[in-house]
Structure 1
C-alpha cells in the first residue's frame, strides 16, 4: 500500500499529465513526507510551475525548505494539539520570521539569508509576457 504522501504524489503526477486549465486548486497535506532533499527540491519546482501556470496550491507542511518557498505562510499554534489552533503569524516567510511568538518564524530566521538572496517568491516570478518585454 502507499503512504499518504506517496498517494498524493501519484495523484499529483496524474494531474500534471492532464491538460492544464490554470484554474485548479491543489490541496496537499505534508507532501514532503518520506522524500529525500533532492526529491523535495523537485517537488518545490513542480509546485512553483503549477502556481506560475495560474493554479492555486495550498500546502499543509512542516518542512522548512518548502515553507520558505511559499508566497504566503499561515502559522497556527503556538503549540500542537490542544495547545494550538490560534493564528500566530501570517504573511511572506520574511514577515512570519519577524514574529517573535512564532516557532516557525524562529526557524525561518535562521534561513533568511537564503531567502533574502533570492527575494520573496512573488518578487522572483515574472509572467512570460512581462519577461519578454525586458
Structure 2
C-alpha cells in the first residue's frame, strides 16, 4: 500500500485493523452500530482527530490501540 501511495495513487481500504487505521490519511467511520443500526457517517477526519474526539466506538478502540 505504501508503494502505491508513494507513487501518487489513491488507495481506499475498508478495514477494522487498528494498525491500518492508525496509518491512514483519512478515516470515514460508519455507524453508529452494525446492520440496520449503521450506515450513517458518524465521523470523518484524520486518525488523530478520531482519537481526540472519541465520539465513536472506532475512536475509543483506536485510542486504546495508540495508547492515549
Aligned pairs for 1:1-134 (under 5 A) are 47-113=1-67
Across the aligned residues of Structure 1 and Structure 2, the Cα RMSD in angstroms comes to 1.2
Compute the TM-score of the two structures, normalised by the length of structure 2.
Answer: 0.88
- Unaligned segments of structure 1, at least 5 residues: 1-46, 114-134
- Greater RCO (Cα-Cα under 8 Å, separation 6 or more): 2
Structure 1 residue 111: deviation in Å?
2.8
Higher Cα Rg: structure 1 or 2? 1
- Unaligned segments of structure 2, at least 5 residues: none
Compute the TM-score of the two structures, normalised by the length of structure 1.
Answer: 0.47
